Amino acid sequence: MRRYVLRRLAVGVLQALGITIAVFFVIRALPADPVSRIVGMNPTEDSIRQARHALGLDMSLFQQLLTFLGFHGDGVFTGSLGTSWVSGSTVLSEIAITLPTTIQLIVTSFIVALVVAIPIGMATARRPGGKLDKGVFGYGLFAGAQPEFWWGLIFIFVFYFKMGIAPAPLGLLDPELTAPKSVTNFVLIDSLIAGDFTAFKSALGHLVLPVLTLSFLLVGPLLKMTQQSMSRVLSSEFILYQQASGLEKKSIGRSTLRSALAPIITLTGILFGFMLSGAVLVESVFSLNGLGQYAVAAVLNLDFPAVQGVILVISVISLFVYLGLDLLLAKIDPRILVK
C-alpha cells in the first residue's frame, strides 16, 4: 500500500507540474497583451518596455518558465505562485481566500447529493419499474437538461424574493456582520473557532441555496450511477446465492452496496475535480468569491501568475482527491491493489 501511495504521489506531482507548464505556454500564446493594463492610454515605447520588464515579459519564454518555477528566486519550487498582475497581492494569498469558499460549497453539495442519491438509487434498483423508478427517470432527464445557473436564479426568485425564507444572494455572510477572525479561511470553521454563532448561522444559511443548486444537478448522475451499479450487482450470482441462502435483507443490502460503490466513488471523484472550477456559474449567481470566479477573472484580465497558480492548485487538489478515492476503493475492493 505504501509503495502504491508513493508511486501515485510521484506520478501525480509530475502530472500537476506538466499541466502547469503546458498552461504556462498556452496562455502566453493568446493573441492579447497584458501590458496594456499597466501602460494605459497612449503609452510611449519606453513605458511599454518598462512595463514588459516589470512583468518579466522581456525575458525569453524559457527564462520566464525558470523564474516561475523558482530557479531565479522565489517560485513554485519554493512555495511561491508569484504576484497577481491585477491586485498586487500574492497569488497564494488570494487562492487561500477563494479556495475555502469553493471547497465549502462543493463538499457540502456532494454530501447532500450522496445522502440523497445513494438511498434512492438503491431503492429504485431493488424495485425497477416502480413509481420511484419512473420518478427518478424523469428527474434524471429533467435535471440533466438544465444549466445550474438557471436553477440558482429560480431558487433565488422563489425562496428569497417571493417566500422570503432564504437570505439575500450577496455572498457568504450578511453584509452587516463582521466576518470572524481568519484562522482557516473557512468561514464555517472560523466562526465556530471564534464562538461566533451568529456568523456561523449566517454562513450556513447563505450556503443553503447554492448547495441546493449544485446538489440538484449532482444528484442526477450520482443517482443514475448508483441505480445502474446496484442493478448490476443485484443480478450477480453471489447476491442470488445470498438471497437463496436466506440471509437478512440488511446484510444482502450491505454486500450489494459495497460491491456497487466503486463506480459511484469514481464518478464522485471526477465530478469533484470538475466542480473545483466548474462551480463558477453558481459562485457568480450567489456572489460567492470562490476559486472559479477568481480563475475566470484571471483569464479575462490576462493575469498570467493567477491563471498559472489556479491551474496548479486545482491539479494538486485533484491529485489528492483521486488518490484518496482510489485508496477508499482499494479498502472496499482489495483486489484493486493486487492488480
Partner 1 sequence: MKKIDDYTVQITQEKENKLFLPALTIFGMGMFDKEGMEAQKTAKDPWSHDYANTVNVPSFGPYCLSKWTKGSEFVLTANPKYYGGKPAVSKIVLRKVPQSANRLAAIRTGAAQLTERLTPKEFASLKAVKGVSVGSVVGNESLFLNMNFKVAPWDNIKVRQAVAYAINYDKLIKNAYYGQAKKWKSLVPSTYPGYSVPKTQYTYDPAKAKALLAASGYKDDGSLKLTYVAEKESTLGPVVTQIKADLKAIGLDVQLDPLPQTQFGDRQLTKRDLPFAVNDQEKPIGVDAGYATYLFFITGGLNNMDNYSNKVVDDTYKAIATEADATKRNAGLAVIQEELAKDVAWVPVVEFATQWAYSSKLSGITWHPDNCVRFFDLKI
Give the interface with partner 1 as residue ranges (CB under 8 A).
32-37, 39-43, 48, 87-89, 94, 97-98, 153, 156-157, 160-161, 164, 167-171, 175-176, 179, 284-287, 289, 293-294, 297, 300-302
Residue 196 φ then ψ, to 5°:
-95, 85
Cβ proximity to partner 1: between 42 and 245 the closer is 42
Q: Which amino acid is at 227?
A: Q
Identity of the residue, 118 or 172, whose beta carbon is nearer to partner 1 in the bound complex: 172
Of 281, 289, 306, the closest CA to residue 89 belongs to 306
> Amino acid letter at 248?
E
CA 278 – CA 100 distance, rounded (Å): 15
Burial 187-214 (b: 16+ CB within 10 A, else e): bbbbbbeeebeebbebbbebbbbbbbbb
Give the shortest CB-180-to-partner 1 separation in angstroms. Answer: 12
CB burial of residue 51 (10 Å; 0-12, 13-18, 19+): buried
Smaller CB separation from partner 1, 109 or 293: 293
CB of 76 to partner 1, least distance (A): 22
Q: How far is the CB of 191 from partner 1 (least distance, A)?
A: 16
303 Cβ contact partners less than 8 Å away, ≥ 6 residues apart? 34, 84, 85, 86, 297
Query: Toward partner 1, which CB reaches closer, 36 or 243?
Result: 36
Tell me whether residue 52 or residue 232 sits nearer to partner 1 (CB atom): 52
CB 157 to partner 1: min, Å: 8
Chain Cα centroid distance, residue 121: 23
Give the shortest CB-173-to-partner 1 separation in angstroms: 10
Least separation, in Å, of the C-beta of 98 and partner 1?
8
Residue closer to partner 1, measured from CB, 208 or 247: 208
Provide the minimum distance between the beta carbon of 56 and partner 1 in the complex, in angstroms, as a whole number.
14
- Residue 265 gets the label, from left (phi > 0), alpha (psi -120 to 50) or beta, of alpha
CA 233 to CA 10: how far, in whole Å?
Answer: 34
Residue 171, Ramachandran bin (φ over 0: left; ψ between -120 and 50: alpha; else beta): left
Give the Cα separation of 209 and 76 in Å (integer): 37
Q: Which is nearer to partner 1, 67 or 301 (CB)?
A: 301
Q: Which is nearer to partner 1, 5 or 170 (CB)?
A: 170
Indicate the Cα dihedral angle 7, 13, 19, 23, nearest 10°.
-170
Neighbours of 26 (CB within 10 A): 11
Closest separation in Å from C-beta 87 to partner 1: 4
